[in-house]
Amino acid sequence: MTRNHTREDILAEAARLFARGGFKGTSLHDIAVAVGCSKATLLYHFASKDALLVALVEPAIEELRALDDRLAVLHGEDARLVAVNGFVDLVLRYRREVTLVYDSLQVSEIPRFPGIDALAERLVRAFAGHSPDPVDDIAARVVLSGICTVVIEHADSGGIDLRDALTTVAERAVSSQVRPRQES
């Protein structure tokens, strides 16, 4: 009996193999073998390994774009709160994809996604409450990276509500409360 190899079968196996061996360490041949199809069948559905990765990550990027649209009309504390809650929800929902992209970015082995840098910069500004203070910008970048790191490293949250913990810590770290400045 011949198995019908769907796009979804290929995506599922690619995600599993990318997570285990990295994007660079996984070949199209590896994916085809795991699915039980020929490389030609795989290439019928996806023109390249990069196209496969884009298909895996696109739903998360679309959600990030939707969050960006919601943030476009907000400022200050409103922008900060929506950004924190929206980003935590996105990262938790797309944990596998975030892990794949985040791990792969560390060694620059994945293709760049058009427009992602601009989306990321607008998200940083929203996390910073659109503050011109460079300390707020740094805090926003640290918190964004930290959210990704925690979600990646805490697949088992040990009984705590990871969403609640992440939003609480993020809101504290990027709050608009005035921070005392130390004089040099």
Task: Compute the distance between CA of residue 139 and CA of residue 147 in angstroms, rounded to an integer.
Answer: 12
142-168 tens-digit pLDDT: 999 999 889 888 766 666 789 999 999
Q: Which of 16, 100, 20, 118 is nearest to 58 (CA)?
A: 100
Instruction: Say if residue 89's pLDDT is above 50.
Output: yes
**Statement to judge: residues 87 and 129 lie in one domain:** yes
**Statement to judge: residues 64 and 35 lie in one domain:** no
**Statement to judge: residues 140 and 86 lie in one domain:** yes
Q: Which domain holds residue 95?
A: 58-173
Number of domains in the chain: 2
**Statement to judge: residues 36 and 97 lie in one domain:** no
**Statement to judge: residues 37 and 73 lie in one domain:** no
- What six digits make up the tokens of 165? 């913990």
Write down the pLDDT at residue 126. 96
**Statement to judge: residues 20 and 88 lie in one domain:** no
CA 99 from chain center: how many Å? 7
Q: Is 35 within a domain?
A: yes
Task: Compute the distance between CA of residue 99 and CA of residue 74 in angstroms, rounded to an integer.
Answer: 29
Q: Is 105 within a domain?
A: yes
**Statement to judge: residues 19 and 70 lie in one domain:** no
pLDDT bracket for residue 87 (50, 70, 90): very high
Matching residue, tokens 């040990």: 158
Looking at residue 109, the DSSP 8-state letter turns out to be -
**Statement to judge: residues 71 and 148 lie in one domain:** yes
pLDDT bracket for residue 98 (50, 70, 90): confident
11-63 tens-digit pLDDT: 999 999 988 888 888 999 999 999 999 999 999 999 999 899 889 988 998 99
* CA atoms 15, 20, 21, 27: torsion sign: negative
Q: Is 85 within a domain?
A: yes
**Statement to judge: residues 75 and 31 lie in one domain:** no
